[in-house]
Structure 1
Amino acid sequence: MNSRSPFSFVQDLASRLPGPPQPPQWLVQGVQHRLVLLLNHVLMQEPQAMERLARHSGRVARVQWRQFVVALQMTPAGLLDVAPAQADADLRAELLQGSPIDLARSALAGDAPQVHIEGDVQLASDIHWLAENLRWDIEEDLARIVGDAPAHFISMGVRRVLVALHGFAGRRGSTDHLYS
């Protein structure tokens, strides 16, 4: 008896399609440089974080999720820069969750993503410390632009939306078996 789904041809067809198109290099570089600016902005608000990174001056950490890759080099000032293309990575981290929905769901649930790490143990330990302890005070930055009261109002609204999404993700995750 044939136990294949009548729609298995769709899966076969999808597996033969080429992957998503690659973004142009200028777009990739632009996004990476803006990411570095944001990360450095957050790092500069925490001197202890900068001290930890300064100890790794010149080292390179490469992070990959699906086809997206960014290689970051630690600077003597304890900040980050986009690593040169030919730089060897001292630390490689690959996010294992392939689905953007699964990645977003785990982030909303407050779970750390599944990561495969290879390389320098001390660098990995310090980056883990940064991930656990650094927080971007978005409300403070927003207050510089729109003022304290509007920034507080906006951030409270965003927090409520995130709490609702967190609740939805938690309920959805606990009832996934009902839809499988």
Structure 2
Amino acid sequence: MATQSPFSWAAQALPDLAAQMAKQFSTSFHPPEWVIDETVNRLVLFLNHVLMSEPEAMARLARQKNQRIALVWDRLELQLTPTPAGLLERGRFDGFDLRLTVTEESVTTLVSALARGDKPKVRIEGDVQLAAEVNWLIDHVRWDAEEDLARLIGDAAAHTLAQAARQAASALRSFVAKRPGTELRTGGAA
């Protein structure tokens, strides 16, 4: 005779509860303006660090100098301008040459898509050539975390940590892909 676990309700209720809590938190929590400002500054520094390791990416961005790029998601907007050196600087401007708006509103769905390695759905407005260059950057420029880590702790230790991180990311992608109902949210077979 099979008995039902007293915790079987948790397997069904906890994912829904977590999604509801994440949605409520994201709509009610507003970090202070200075936190957002400093986070954006660090993000631009990180993007430039990654770009500096790719001369082709810098050359492509240099050709788009002084263009106004607005990246928008939910209530956040990041305004960037390519520099003549092929890097990005934070801008503050009205209007845009290219506006990329992430259309997914749910934080959990967006994070799940990114964990699977999918690109988020984006609405594109503006200059087609600039959009093609940004798409090329997204498709071809990657952060080599292992190389940066090797500068700090050495090649062997960095390789070991990077390999463990790749295995963890693979396990996370596999877990997210196997979640019930994932096919419906990603536009798979109905």
Please give the TM-score of this superposition, normalised by the length of structure 2: 0.79
Question: What stretches of structure 1 of length at least 5 have no aligned partner?
Answer: 1-18
The answer to whether residue 143 in structure 2 is matched with residue 136 in structure 1 is yes
Instruction: Report what 2:89 is aligned to.
Output: 81
SS at 1:22's partner residue? coil
Write the distance in 2 (CA, Å) between the matches of 1:173 and 1:32: 35
- State whether residues 176 and 182 of structure 2, in contact with CA within 8 Å, keep that contact through their aligned partners in structure 1: no
SS at 1:116's partner residue? strand
Instruction: Report what 1:148 is aligned to.
Output: 155
The answer to whether residue 49 in structure 2 is matched with residue 41 in structure 1 is yes
Write the distance in 2 (CA, Å) between the matches of 1:175 and 1:134: 28
CA gap of 1:46–1:175, structure 2 versus 1, over 3 A, is: closer
Instruction: Report what 2:11 is aligned to.
Output: none
Percentage of identical aligned residues? 43
Cα shift at 1:77: 0.6
Deviations 1:34-54 (CA, angstroms, capped at 9, x unpaired): 111110011111111011111
SS at 2:162's partner residue? helix
Please give the TM-score of this superposition, normalised by the length of structure 1: 0.83
CA gap of 1:170–1:58, structure 2 versus 1, over 3 A, is: same
Write the distance in 2 (CA, Å) between the matches of 1:21 and 1:160: 33
Instruction: Report what 2:72 is aligned to.
Output: 64
Write the distance in 1 (CA, Å) between the matches of 2:145 and 2:56: 20
The answer to whether residue 166 in structure 2 is matched with residue 168 in structure 1 is no
Runs of 4+ in 1 over 3 A off after TM superposition: 173-177
Write the distance in 2 (CA, Å) between the matches of 1:173 and 1:118: 35
Instruction: Report what 2:3 is aligned to.
Output: none
Question: What stretches of structure 2 of length at least 5 have no aligned partner?
Answer: 1-26, 185-190
| Number of aligned residue pairs | 159
Cα shift at 1:175: 5.8
Write the distance in 2 (CA, Å) between the matches of 1:176 and 1:117: 25
Q: CA RMSD in A?
A: 1.7
